């Protein structure tokens, strides 16, 4: 037992010596040790969470911001989506995966230590007696790669690039989710206003029909006027039914974007918080500035560039694997070697350098290098595709925002004019100075003007925020109206 105690003590001293270079770093970050990250491969964001662009507070997902029956604000819809979107959760898990691979790459610079024990029992029968022997063998092995012509460093740089890509991909997934929620939210707002306008138009059509019937009964009106009023009411009812269906569809899309349908039995009825009318001056910058900023800072483009850099480092890894390697090995045995007959008290120590020189691998190395080069070409094409997609989305959304902005003042004037026309025609109609056709035309024009006003306002709000999201710059601050 004294031999075993001596071996255990020696192994403990060896482990302390090997871990000494890591100890100061790990001691500086006890949180990393607590979560099992002695090599500090995990980014701090995995503990603290990621901040949205321009925000100073992180989204807390402890409790769902959505409460059934309560008016839903855009900020609550965004918070709900950020906590429930599976794409965002998958991107978060990808960060953990790449951090683990970075830690594995960093571990390649450290030695590996193994230890073991074996027990050998033997029994011997001979003339005149017998004998028994029991021997416990203990051993420890240290292996440390000293030279590999840049393979480990390239592998670590590739892992670090992939971690940066995962972080940027997470940000891109967040911005995509924000754009989806914004579009769905204002689609619900627009469809709700459309439904209300159609209901109002239906009520006016019903009142108009009642008036036409009374006029016909008094002999002031005519049967064709009454039939026209009935036709107008039927058309209003049809349009109201279509608007109601479109509103339900928009609610389903918003509920899906918020992650509310996974456990729900039916589509929840979402009531939105009313918003004040806006009178914006314009966008904060022109299209070339948006495009230039996206080329430099958009998370999807940054992620694609990081993947391209990782592919280039993987090419260096593939080339280094065909180069010589130099390893240090040390072994210590007590009481002989494992599974071999030895003597109690024997001690054996071995220290050596192992040089491995690849000579011929059946041309496998050439094909592996060729595959790594092809991977670089694929990543370059993916980067170009991502840039084209991102810049195209920005240009398209910018055009939508400018169109909506230019439509705001026009839609306001159109609505005021249509309302004045309806009031004027109604007074003339009640006095018998206008016929049913004039009244129907005025009511139709007012309904269309109301729809144009609601659509212009919703389109502006949606396009402005989606432009920020498509440029990778949207945060919760933008919902509060701090951006134009």
User: Which is higher by pLDDT, 126 or 145?
Assistant: 145
* Residue 484 pLDDT class (50, 70, 90 cuts): very low
Count the Cβ atoms, other than its own, within 10 Å of residue 463. Answer: 25
* For residue 220, pLDDT beyond 80: no
Residues 109 and 131: their CA atoms lie apart, in Å, by: 49
* Residue 260 pLDDT class (50, 70, 90 cuts): confident
* Residue 18 pLDDT class (50, 70, 90 cuts): very low
* For residue 257, pLDDT beyond 50: yes
Query: Could you tell me which residues come within 8 angstroms of residue 444 by beta carbon, excluding any fewer than 6 positions away?
Result: none
Q: Which domains does the chain have, with CATH numbers?
A: 64-110+150-325+377-479 (1.20.1600.10)
pLDDT > 90: percent of the chain: 42
Burial environment of residue 267 by CB neighbours within 10 A (0 to 12, 13 to 18, 19 or more): middle
> Contact 478/465 with Cβ under 8 angstroms?
yes
* Residue 17 pLDDT class (50, 70, 90 cuts): very low
Largest CA distance in the chain: 142
The average pLDDT across 337-359 equals: 82
- Quote the pLDDT of residue 281: 66
* Residue 388 pLDDT class (50, 70, 90 cuts): very high
The average pLDDT across 260-285 equals: 77
The average pLDDT across 170-199 equals: 91
The closest alpha carbon to 159, from 90, 102, 99, 234, belongs to 102
The closest alpha carbon to 148, from 363, 327, 330, 364, belongs to 327
* Residue 29 pLDDT class (50, 70, 90 cuts): very low
Average predicted confidence (pLDDT) for the chain: 84
């Amino acid at each position: 037992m004294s031999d075993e105690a001596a071996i255990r003590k020696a192994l403990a001293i060896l482990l302390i010596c090997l871990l000494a270079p890591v100890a100061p770093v790990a001691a500086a970050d006890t949180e990393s040790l607590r979560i099992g990250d002695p090599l500090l491969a995990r980014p701090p964001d995995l503990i603290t969470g990621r901040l949205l662009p321009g925000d100073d507070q992180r989204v807390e997902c402890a409790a769902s911001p959505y409460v059934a029956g309560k008016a839903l604000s855009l900020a609550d819809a965004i918070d709900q989506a950020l906590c429930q979107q599976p794409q965002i959760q998958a991107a978060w898990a990808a960060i953990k995966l790449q951090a683990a691979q970075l830690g594995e790459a960093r571990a390649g610079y450290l030695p590996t230590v193994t230890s073991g024990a074996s027990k050998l029992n033997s029994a011997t029968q001979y003339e005149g007696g017998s004998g028994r022997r029991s021997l416990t063998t203990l051993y420890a092995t240290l292996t440390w790669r000293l030279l590999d012509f840049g393979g480990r460093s390239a592998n670590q740089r590739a892992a670090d690039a992939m971690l940066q890509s995962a972080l940027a991909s997470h940000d891109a997934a967040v911005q995509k989710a924000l754009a989806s929620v914004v579009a769905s939210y204002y689609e619900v707002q627009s469809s709700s206003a459309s439904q209300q306008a159609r209901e109002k138009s239906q009520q006016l059509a019903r009142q108009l029909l009642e008036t036409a019937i009374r006029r016909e009964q008094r002999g002031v009106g005519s049967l064709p006027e009454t039939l026209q009023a009935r036709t107008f009411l039927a058309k209003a009812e049809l349009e109201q039914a279509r608007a109601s269906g479109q509103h339900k569809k928009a609610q389903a899309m918003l509920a899906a974007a918020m992650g509310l349908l996974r456990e729900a039995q039916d589509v929840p009825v979402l009531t939105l918080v009313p918003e004040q009318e806006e009178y914006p001056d314009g966008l904060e910058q022109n299209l070339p500035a948006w495009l230039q900023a996206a080329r430099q800072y958009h998370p999807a483009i940054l992620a694609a560039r990081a993947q391209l850099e990782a592919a280039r480092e993987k090419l260096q890894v593939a080339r280094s694997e065909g180069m010589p390697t130099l390893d240090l090995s040390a072994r210590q045995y007590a009481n002989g070697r494992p599974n071999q007959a030895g003597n109690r008290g024997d001690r054996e120590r071995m220290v050596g350098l192992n040089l491995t020189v690849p000579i011929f691998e059946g041309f496998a190395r050439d094909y592996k290098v060729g595959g790594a080069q092809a991977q670089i070409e694929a990543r370059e094409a993916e980067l170009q595709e991502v840039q084209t997609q991102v810049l195209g989305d920005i240009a398209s959304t910018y055009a939508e925002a400018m169109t909506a902005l230019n439509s705001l003042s026009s839609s306001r004037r159109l609505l005021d004019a249509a309302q004045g026309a309806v009031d004027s025609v109604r007074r003339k109609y009640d006095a018998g100075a206008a016929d049913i056709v004039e009244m129907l035309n005025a009511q139709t024009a007012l309904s269309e003007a109301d729809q144009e006003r609601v659509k212009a306002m919703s389109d502006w709000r949606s396009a402005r925020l989606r432009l920020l999201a498509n440029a990778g710059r949207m945060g919760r601050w933008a919902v509060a109206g701090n951006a134009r």
